[in-house]
Chains A and B, each alone.
Chain A
Amino acid sequence: GIQVEQSPPDLILQEGANSTLRCNFSDSVNNLQWFHQNPWGQLINLFYIPSGTKQNGRLSATTVATERYSLLYISSSQTTDSGVYFCAVLIQGAQKLVFGQGTRLTINP
């Protein structure tokens, strides 16, 4: 089956720093989503991005489907950005979402 790999697995930064999270996938996909799981366990939708670039405030995402990767950028990090960031891909020919293992981001004040 398709493999989804996220890097780095853990990232610790000071408030105000910028970060880049990566998601690689092993096969063609129909779509890709980024989620943030907050410390209370809630999964929050960040981006739905099959290709190209989208921006939402301090966050932006880029997916290059032909090269099978996506990047999530967080600028001017805040402590509320802490949590686990997941990417999930939609398998072609099936409506199954397959998740990566996540990147745990810790923003220290």
Chain B
Amino acid sequence: DAGITQSPRHKVTETGTPVTLRCHQTENHRYMYWYRQDPGHGLRLIHYSYGVKDTDKGEVSDGYSVSRSKTEDFLLTLESATSSQTSVYFCAIKSENTEAFFGQGTRLTVV
């Protein structure tokens, strides 16, 4: 266990509703990441954080926002969920010059 927890693990929501996914770490890692995994696309970076209140976009950031108000929590928000955001979402943590560790994933279904 790399000290990383995602919540919820599963969620079904309706189109147009806001959704927030949480990533919590107990390891004090500087960097935190949100990825989505879809068939045929592997894992694609949505947003990442390099410190408290410091975030940057990844390759598929449209429709997503993030916040990191403290070291241990990185939140991913879908302001208005769409069916194209149905996916499995993974959070990852790492420090400088160390390997990344992934959470167990959140399966999100937008109906």
Instruction: List residues of chain A with CB under 8 Å of any chain B CB.
Output: 1, 31, 33, 35, 41-43, 45, 48, 86, 88, 95-102
| Cross-chain contact B92 with A97 (CB below 8 angstroms) | yes
A86 to B92, CA, bound (A): 15
State which of B18-26, B43-51, B68-76, B78-86 sits at the interface with chain A. Answer: B43-51
CA distance A99 to B59 in the complex (A): 12
Taking a contact as CB atoms under 8 Å apart, the answer to whether A45 and B42 are in contact is no
Count of chain A to chain B residue pairs whose CB atoms are closer than 8 Å in the complex: 46
Alpha-carbon gap, A102 to B40, bound state (A):
9
Q: Which residues of B contact A (CB under 8 A)?
A: 31, 33, 35, 40-45, 48, 50, 58-59, 88, 90, 92, 94, 96-102, 104-105
Contacts of A86 in B (CB 8 A): 42-43
CB distance from A24 to the nearest CB of B (A): 14
**Nearest chain-B residue to A97 (Cβ)?**
B100
- The 8 Å CB contact of B48, one of A35, A45, A48, A96, is A96
Return the chain A residue nearest B30 by Cβ. Answer: A95
Q: With the chains together, A56 CA to B41 CA distance in Å?
A: 28
Bound state CA distance, A100 and B104, in angstroms?
19
Q: From B44, which residue of chain A is reached at the shortest CB distance?
A: A99
